[in-house]
């Protein structure tokens, strides 16, 4: 499947979000601490931006129970 220029642009933007998160929080402990403080909508955004199944599972562990 060939991607349109818009799809390529969006894919690049999503990778930039994940790269920014990874460079800001370099260690696993730093990532965990940041995710514990984040709201669900921010964690869900990280999950949306990531194309890595293991990272998505890791991020989803920090989703809070919503009432």
Residue 66 banded pLDDT, cuts 50, 70, 90 = confident
How is the chain split among helix, strand and coil, in percent rounded to 5? 70, 0, 30
Q: What is the pTM of this model?
A: 0.87
Q: Which pLDDT tens digit goes with each residue over 1-45? A: 798 999 999 999 999 999 999 999 999 999 999 999 999 999 999
């Amino acid at each position: 499947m060939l991607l349109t220029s818009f799809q390529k642009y969006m894919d690049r933007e999503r990778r930039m979000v994940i790269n920014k998160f990874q460079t800001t929080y370099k260690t696993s402990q730093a990532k965990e601490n940041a995710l514990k403080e984040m709201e669900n909508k921010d964690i869900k955004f990280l999950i949306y931006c990531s194309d890595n199944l293991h990272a998505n599972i890791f991020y989803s562990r920090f989703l809070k129970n919503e009432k």
